[in-house]
Amino acid sequence: MSSSSGFDAQIASRLTRIALSHVRREQPNTIVHAPPKSVHPIFFGSFDWHSCVHSYWLLATILRMYPRIGEAPAIAALFAEAFAKEVKPSS
């Protein structure tokens, strides 16, 4: 898949590697004075949680657009680890 914007599988692969390299890496956080993972259990990576959310969105979009990309297994593994199925409380 390619578009007139030039976004193709090669660029998607590059962006994927960048996002995967930082979404699970805790960064120092001087605003809260607590480990980032304790404040934002999923979105603790990147420079701040907001950037991490954007990186997860990027990875999800790339996986949707290029499901056979070489990094697809790494994205799937990250999502499986980061997101849990919703568990409904028993009545």
Write the pLDDT tens digit of every residue in 35-91.
777 777 777 777 777 888 899 999 999 999 999 999 999 999 999 988 876 666 665
- Per the CB < 8 A criterion, the answer to whether 23 and 45 are in contact is yes
**Region for residue 6 given its phi and psi (left: phi exceeds 0; alpha: psi -120 to 50; beta: otherwise):** left
Beta strands in the chain (DSSP E): none
* pLDDT, position 90: 61
Regarding pTM above 0.95, the answer is no
What H or E segment, with its residue span, contains residue 14? helix 9-22
* Number of C-beta neighbours around residue 69 at 10 A: 17
